[in-house]
Structures are given as structure tokens and as C-alpha cells.
Amino acid sequence: MKKKLTVSIFAILSIANLLHAQADRWQQHVNYKINAALDVTTNIIKGTEELVYTNNSPDTLGKVYFHMYWNAFVPNSAMDIRSRELGKNYLSVRRGAPITSASTMDGKDNVQDWDRRVKDRIQQLKPTEIGYQRISQLLMNGKAQKLVEHETILEVQLTHPIAPKTSVKLALQFEAQVPIQVRRSGRDNAEGVRYSMSQWYPKLVEYDYQGWNTNPYIAREFYGVWGNYDVSIQLNKDYTVAATGVLQNPSLLSNVAGMKSWNFKGNNIHDFVWAADDHFKHLSKEVRKGLTLHVYYKEKTAAEDSAWANVLWAAEKALPYIEKKFGPYPYPQYSFIQGGDGGMEYAMATLLKGPGIGTVFHEWMHNWYQHVLGSNESLYPWMDEGFASFAEDDISFWYEQNIAAQSPYISAAAIKLLQANNEKAKTYLPSIQYGNYGGYLALAKSNLEEPISTHSDHYNTNFAYSSAAYSKGATLLGFLGYVIGDSLRDATLLNYYSIWKFKHPNSNDFFRVAEKTSGIQLQWLKEYWVNSTKSIDYGLNDIQAENNTAIISLQRYGKMPAPIEVLITYKDGSTELHYIPLDLMLANKLDKKTPNRIVHPEWKWVQPTYTFETTKPITALKTIEIDPSQFMPDTNRSNNKLEIPN
């Protein structure tokens, strides 16, 4: 009893602290109550949707909008045209290198820049294979409203505007055909999962301080209104349903006329996914009080059984590490569900093609970045994909180094291979070991790069989008560790999560947290990295003997400035790390790992050259290397290192 009291006082105190730290930005709110029935023979789903929508903005709203995603899966839709147009671009290799004209392609090295899952498949869909979503009637507070269709966006012209700080009740009836799976959602995916039900219901468009986010669905990305979902799904009794939220009626599934009803509830989320199959296997474990993890997969071979069991095992083992590094997981449930066409994140759940552990960690981490922080992925895809990719690498590395070999679900041969890799990985340099630096550097050299502030639908190529959102976004966090120090970068990530959770942070919000956490000015980093395509290239210029020292001359060749570290190795085996801060930072990086580094005067960013002295004469020098950590994303490393001949 006493212990319990202590715990609750502590809980109250920490909630008060967090509330104090919370950012002040208004958010819209919506509660959904959805009742839907899926006919597994016709693939038609019909339902009703009741929404209570609260306008927390200071604005009076004369319209509301809904996403009608499945209208993209019709020939000549914007998604179809966009994919076929991107298919006209040929890249000479898949990752990097300029576009060559179609006439010079040799059919081997050239690839079309369209999503290989979409290609021109939408154009070929037959009427029974397309997707559609229709709303027959929409009532606001009981009164019919005027609807205007814009393919995947439905405009609702309101008879009475919604005043600030008021709520309205919206009620609609919808009917949809589940498309053959082309992208993310649909029926009968490559693994044979019958239904991957994402983007399946009319979903309210988010209104925020930047206005209505009415992005047509052409491939990406997602954004939504936080609220509570109460979803009931009826379908053939032989099917198992896996979904966002907590199943409310596990033992009382009603069984009327061959149908079962599944009711799920989830709070503080901005999307709802489900999947259904008549051969789903289900594993689950309550990994701590109030949190149950689930795995649903299509049973096939014993090897696959093991791999899916390992997903649950690894998720439980990794969770404490993940929460310490990236912040607490706030929901009562999470489901890893086989379905979809790769890995795709949803609230409290993910659809996965297979049980690959890197993807498992990546998609789960989207619950931190996409669902709890909820950055607008159309405008800031790198804040979601980039950060999830960084976390994926970090967690995968930790997992492989520390616990994977203990898994009862991995074969002895696989464990041996893992241990050999771990030995090697210890000597790897991070930029080589982590593929995101490689992805970014290929982009920077490709002539196809666009600023990562580009709207995710509007990149010229899929290549530039994915390299920017995933690789350049993840590289930012590696580079931030180089600029402010790894421990302050990690502290920034935790502060960012606790201050901006459920607030839709933008890019400036992230950099402000990094500045406040580190005490280092970072506006230059944001402007160069996010709003430009300028890149970093520093090189060694010249070495001269002077008295008992050597004068090292450095050159900035790239347009983007950075703080510089130079490692000097002497012939006697001793080393010294020279640190040259950038004037724009107005402070030095925290470096606990090298307390004896030599800190030089700042390098003014306007100055292309810089010189400094070593502590020993030129005859004692063995090697000079700029950025031995390789965490600075230098586009040309060939001029970074010099070996002095004997």
C-alpha cells in the first residue's frame, strides 16, 4: 500500500513536469465510431462512420475534407499517371548516377524510376479488381451536407461553419471495393494474405496551423487527426482479424449466420489498420503490465514459424533498450502483422511482408516518429523515415551485438555467422557500417538531389525522394552526433519526443530542441541540410615545417561548412585529435571520448582555408586524417588523409 502511494505521487510529479515541458500548439481532435461489414466473396465493404470532430483551432471552418485513398486504384487516377510518368525516367543505376535517355538504355544497367510494386499495374486493373470508396450521404448534426469529389479527396461544403472551440457530429455511410493489392492496401498480396486493410475508411484530413492538408493520394505520405477509434468489423467467421487497438470482445465474438464481429478500440492515434486471413497464426505475450505484443502471420513452413516467433522474442528483448534511447512506448498493444507489400507503419501495428528483424524495428519505431510525434510526412518525410531509419540501424546494431545470439529461434549456423560479423563490425567505421551515409553520398553525387524540404509527392524522381527521406534524414542524426556529441544528440532525441509528442513537430521544432539541449547554435545546419543541396567536402592542402612544429593547411572545397576534426598520428605511435569549431556554432562540441583533444580557434565559415600547428615537428608525422570518425558526410574522402613517406 505504501509502495503504491509512492508510485502514484511520483507519477503525478512526472506528468506535471512533462506537461510543463509540452510545446504549445493546438491540435484538432476526432473520435471515430466505425461499423463495417466485409463480404469475402464480393470484396465489398460497407459501413457507417460517426465522427465527433472538435475544432481546437482559432479559425472558423466552412469546409472539411476526407481522404478517399482507394479511389487511387482506378486506371488513369493521379497515382496511376504519376507512376507511369516516373517510369519514363531511366536511371543508369538504381542508386545514383544521372538520368540517361530511354534510347540509350541497355536493358540491364538502366532501371525505370517507378515503384516496382506499382509500375503500370493500376492501368491494367479490371472493374472487379479496382478499388473505390463512395460516400452516399454525409450528415452534420443530422443535416445533409454538399459533397464534391476530387478523386482521393472529398470536399464537404458545410451548411454551417464550425466555430473555434466547438464540436460537431458527422455521420456518413460508405461503400468500398477492396482492390487487388497494388500498393500497401488490398486483397491477396504476394504472400497470399487475403486482406491488408489500410487506408480503408473515409479519413478526416488534418487541419493545422499551416491549413488543410489536402494531398491527393499518389503514393505517399500520411498525416492525420489524433483521437479515439472504436471500430467494429464483421466478416466470415473463419477469418482472424488483426488490427490497431485492443480487441474488446475476444471471448464473445458473436457468430451470426456465419459471420463474426470484431471490436477494437484505440486511443490517441491518427489511423487504424486491420488485416484478415483465414489461415493467420497468432502469437502474443504480455511483455509488461499493460502492454501486449502480437504477431500474426500466414502459416507456411517450420522455418517461417521460427522466424516469426523470433519477431516476438526480439521485440520484447529490445523494448527496454528502445525506450531508454528513444522514449517510452505509450500504447497498450502493438501488432506485427503479415500483410501489405513491404513494411508499412500504422498506429499500434505494422504490416510486414516477412519477419526480417531490421524492418520489424524500423516499422515499430514509426510508432514513435509517425504516430506519437506525428510529423507531417508530406512536408517532412525525413523526420519520419529518416529518424526511423536511424533508429533501425541503432537498434539492429545493438540487437546483433548483444542479444541475437541468445535467441532460441536462430539456428547454430546463423549464430556463428552473427558472431563473426560482430567481430568485424567492431572495427568498422560507422559510415561504412551504416548504409544511410552511403545512400546519402550517392544522392549528393547523382545530380538528382533536391532539398529535403521538398514535398514528398513532388520530387522529380522516386530515387531522389527515397534517398533524401530515408538516407539523408538518417545521416542528419549521425552528423548531429558529430556536431554536438553523441550523448547530446541522444538527449536531444529524448527531449524532442517528450516535448513534441502528439503535437506534429516541424523541422524547426526539432532543431530548436537540439539547440536548447546542446547550447550550440544550429540554424546553419538546418538551412544547409534541410533547405539546400549544398554538401560537405574538406581536404588537406599543404604541410610546412616551421621550427619544432608542422603547419597543416586545410581547405573547404564544398559549399557547406562544418566543424572539423583532424587526427595526427606520429611515428612513435602517439596520436592527437585537433578540434576546429565552426564560428556559426558559437560553442564547442562535447566530446567525452577524447578529453585530451586540442581545441583550436574557430574557423570562420566565410574563409575557405585554415591552418593550425601540430605539437611535434614535421619529421615526426606519420599520418594526417580529416574526420577519422567518418561521421562527417564528406562527399570526397580521397583528399582527407595523407601518409607521410619515411
Q: What does DSSP say about strands 333-338 and 291-298: parallel, antiparallel, or unpaired? A: parallel
Q: How far is the CB of 354 from Zn ion (least distance, A)?
A: 15
- Between 75 and 435, CB nearer to Zn ion: 435
- Between 362 and 501, CB nearer to Zn ion: 362
Single out the segment in contact with Zn ion by CB under 5 A; choices: 12-20, 89-97, 382-390, 572-580.
Answer: 382-390
Q: How far is the CB of 155 from Zn ion (least distance, A)?
A: 30
- Sheet containing 349-352: which strands, arranged edge to edge? 280-288, 291-298, 333-338, 349-352, 343-346
Single out the segment in contact with Zn ion by CB under 5 A; choices: 23-31, 318-326, 387-395, 514-522.
Answer: 387-395
Q: How far apart are CA 415 and CA 395, in angstroms?
A: 18
By CB under 5 A, the residues from 140 to 159 that bind Zn ion are: none
Q: How far is the CB of 388 from Zn ion (least distance, A)?
A: 5
Task: Measure the CA angle with vertex 48, ends 46 and 51; round to 5°.
Answer: 145
By CB under 5 A, the residues from 476 to 535 that bind Zn ion are: none
Cβ pair 122, 80 in contact under 8 A: yes
SS3 225: coil
Sign of CA dihedral 639, 386, 506, 486: negative
Cβ pair 304, 297 in contact under 8 A: yes
Q: How far is the CB of 641 from Zn ion (least distance, A)?
A: 35
- Between 75 and 438, CB nearer to Zn ion: 438
Q: How far is the CB of 111 from Zn ion (least distance, A)?
A: 21
C-alpha closest to that of 361 among 345, 382, 375, 376: 345
Q: How far is the CB of 340 from Zn ion (least distance, A)?
A: 12
Q: How far is the CB of 179 from Zn ion (least distance, A)?
A: 22
Pattern 425-464, binding to Zn ion, x per CB under 5 A? ----------------------------------------
- Around Cβ 119, how many Cβ atoms within 10 Å? 16
Find the largest Cα–Cα distance for the chain. Answer: 96
- Between 221 and 634, CB nearer to Zn ion: 221
- Between 74 and 351, CB nearer to Zn ion: 351
- Between 267 and 378, CB nearer to Zn ion: 378
Residue count of the chain: 646
Phi, psi of 289 (to 5 degrees): -60, 125
Q: How far is the CB of 344 from Zn ion (least distance, A)?
A: 8
By CB under 5 A, the residues from 606 to 625 that bind Zn ion are: none
- Between 274 and 387, CB nearer to Zn ion: 387
Residues touching Zn ion, count (CB under 5 A): 2
Phi, psi of 181 (to 5 degrees): -65, 120
SS3 481: helix
Single out the segment in contact with Zn ion by CB under 5 A; choices: 383-391, 432-440, 459-467, 499-507.
Answer: 383-391
Q: Cell numbers 597543416 label which residue?
A: 552
- Between 388 and 567, CB nearer to Zn ion: 388
Q: How far is the CB of 370 from Zn ion (least distance, A)?
A: 8
- Between 271 and 385, CB nearer to Zn ion: 385
Pattern 388-427, binding to Zn ion, x per CB under 5 A? x---------------------------------------
Q: How far is the CB of 365 from Zn ion (least distance, A)?
A: 8
- Between 176 and 388, CB nearer to Zn ion: 388
Q: Cell numbers 553525387 label which residue?
A: 445
C-alpha closest to that of 465 among 143, 83, 197: 83
Q: How far is CA 176 from the centre of its chain?
A: 29
Single out the segment in contact with Zn ion by CB under 5 A; choices: 274-282, 325-333, 386-394, 483-491.
Answer: 386-394
- Between 362 and 512, CB nearer to Zn ion: 362
Pattern 339-378, binding to Zn ion, x per CB under 5 A? ----------------------------------------
The C-alpha cell at 456 is 514528398
The C-alpha cell at 404 is 541475437
Q: What does DSSP say about strands 609-613 and 598-599: parallel, antiparallel, or unpaired? A: unpaired
Q: How far apart are CA 124 and CA 48, in angstroms?
A: 31
Single out the segment in contact with Zn ion by CB under 5 A; choices: 47-55, 216-224, 385-393, 618-626.
Answer: 385-393
- Between 239 and 361, CB nearer to Zn ion: 361
Q: How far is the CB of 362 from Zn ion (least distance, A)?
A: 5
Single out the segment in contact with Zn ion by CB under 5 A; choices: 83-91, 284-292, 307-315, 380-388.
Answer: 380-388
Q: Cell numbers 510543463 label which residue?
A: 20
Q: How far apart are CA 397 and CA 425, in angstroms?
A: 9
Q: How far apart are CA 24 and CA 499, in angstroms?
A: 9
- Between 312 and 391, CB nearer to Zn ion: 391
**What are the Cα distances from residue 241, in Å, to 231, 268, 274, 277, 578?**
12, 21, 7, 7, 59
Q: How far is the CB of 51 from Zn ion (least distance, A)?
A: 28
Q: How far apart are CA 192 and CA 3, in angstroms?
A: 51
Single out the segment in contact with Zn ion by CB under 5 A; choices: 167-175, 379-387, 430-438, 519-527.
Answer: 379-387
Q: How far is the CB of 295 from Zn ion (least distance, A)?
A: 19
Q: How far apart are CA 171 and CA 292, in angstroms?
A: 33
Return all residues near 297 (Cβ < 8 A) that are at least 6 apart. 280, 281, 304, 308, 337, 338, 355
Q: How far is the CB of 366 from Zn ion (least distance, A)?
A: 6
C-alpha closest to that of 494 among 479, 513, 481: 513
- Between 77 and 367, CB nearer to Zn ion: 367
Site residues for Zn ion per CB under 5 A: 385, 388
